Amino acid sequence: MTNAIDVNALTKSFGSFTAVHNVNMTVKKGEYMGLLGPNGAGKSTMLKVITGMLSPTSGSTSVNGIDCRDHRRAMETVGCVIETPECYPNFTPTEVLSYVGKLRGITGPGLNARIREVLDEVRMWEWRDKPIGKFSKGMKQRVTLAQALMPDPDILILDEPTSGLDPRGMVEVREILKGLKRDNRSLLVSTHMLNEVSEVCNSVTVIRRGQVILSDNVKELLRKNTGNVTLEVYVRNSITQEFMDALRRFDNVVAAERTDENSFTARFSGNDDREGIVELVKRHDLKLFSLNQKGSDLESLYLSLTGEEDKDDIR
């Protein structure tokens, strides 16, 4: 079966700077792929080559088996939103979508029906006749998503669809993306948030400095990498050396450290054993004050995948 998207040995340079270096990636039909990487990793550049906005320096990309250099044909079944496009502020969603629909060859009564469907899908029907200029960022983002959905695409390519949104806006857009799943529809979505990938996608390709670090099934990636949990525990009385020794003898504790007289951290390699820790605290006549997980599994996994030093890696 033909893949939805194929990226073959893709390199894209700007002058002497190589933004994407020999990248291979496949998105199968029905697959929801997250393209994960820090700022400057090359996500937008890759998506621009796939959607024909940039031509490759070497290598190739194809969509449904059609080379993306044949832009018109390749994009027929694709809906995309790359970076943050501006909508005309005086236009209403209905006006913009009717324009986009006509460009995509949708005419007659089918056009209005399709506008209704996509505005329902992005939960913007009640705003259909209001000028877009008055909308919040999240609402504008949903209108751009609606534009991408107009041709009922079997491939959706979205560049950081939740970028710049507040937490509620992010949740709404993610919920909408989940609701767009169809058996034969594929999604390629870039993000720098692993939790977004784990919520929306079933596969992930991690890129850093223009190169693929790993490509995996999301569940597998999370399964292989759980167990980096560190617990931080506070007690009301003094922690003894005997207690720390006993703690270090726990099967899956890989590191344990007293952080001050009344607190310690324990890092686990498998499932964390909270009950065991509470038992041990009791057995050593310590009084538990609090027990918390430091950071989240996803945060630490993301940092270990992308490199902590790359938080603002604009080169």
Ligand X SMILES: Nc1ncnc2c1ncn2[C@@H]1O[C@H](COP(=O)(O)OP(=O)(O)OP(=O)(O)O)[C@@H](O)[C@H]1O
- For ligand X, give the closer residue by CB, 80 or 97: 80
Q: Which does 37 bind (CB under 5 to 8 A by kind): ligand X, Mg ion, none?
A: ligand X
What character string, x for contact with Mg ion (CB under 5 A) and - otherwise, covers 14-43? -----------------------------x
Q: Which does 12 bind (CB under 5 to 8 A by kind): Mg ion, ligand X, none?
A: none
Distance CA 134, CA 10 (A): 40
- For Mg ion, give the closer residue by CB, 43 or 142: 43
3-state secondary structure labels for all residues of the chain: CCCCEEEEEEEEEECCEEEEEEEEEEECCCCEEEEECCCCCCHHHHHHHHCCCCCCCEEEEEECCEECCCHHHHHHHEEEECCCCCCCCCCCHHHHHHHHHHHCCCCCHHHHHHHHHHHHHCCCHHHCCCCHHHCCHHHHHHHHHHHHHCCCCCEEEEECCCCCCCHHHHHHHHHHHHHCCCCCCEEEEEECCHHHHHHHCCEEEEEECCEEEEEEEHHHHHHHHCCCCEEEEEECCCCCHHHHHHHHCCCCEEEEEEEECCEEEEEECCCCCHHHHHHHHHHCCCCEEEEEECCCHHHHHHHHHHCHHHCCCCC
Least Å distance, CB 78 to ligand X, is 19
Least Å distance, CB 23 to ligand X, is 11
Q: Which does 249 bind (CB under 5 to 8 A by kind): Mg ion, ligand X, none?
A: none
Our finding on whether 162 is near Mg ion (CB under 5 A) is: no
Tokens of 170: 């992010």
Our finding on whether 44 is near Mg ion (CB under 5 A) is: yes
- For ligand X, give the closer residue by CB, 41 or 119: 41
Alpha-carbon separation of residue 179 from 150, 156, 255, 273, 302 (angstroms): 15, 13, 42, 36, 25
Least Å distance, CB 217 to ligand X, is 22
Residues binding ligand X (CB under 6 A)? 14, 17, 19, 37, 39-45, 192, 314-315
Residue number of the CB closest to Mg ion reads 44
Least Å distance, CB 300 to ligand X, is 20
- For ligand X, give the closer residue by CB, 190 or 230: 190
Least Å distance, CB 144 to ligand X, is 16
Residue 214 amino acid letter: L
- For ligand X, give the closer residue by CB, 22 or 226: 22
Q: Of 44-52, 64-72, 179-187, 258-266, which segment contacts Mg ion by CB under 5 A?
A: 44-52
Distance CA 25, CA 81 (A): 20
- For ligand X, give the closer residue by CB, 10 or 100: 10
Our finding on whether 191 is near Mg ion (CB under 5 A) is: no
- For ligand X, give the closer residue by CB, 39 or 271: 39
Least Å distance, CB 83 to ligand X, is 7
- For ligand X, give the closer residue by CB, 27 or 150: 27
Least Å distance, CB 44 to Mg ion, is 3
Least Å distance, CB 213 to ligand X, is 13
- Is residue 287 classed exposed, middle or buried when 0-12, 13-18 and 19+ CB atoms within 10 A define those classes? exposed
Residues that bind Mg ion in the complex, under the rule CB under 5 A = 43-44
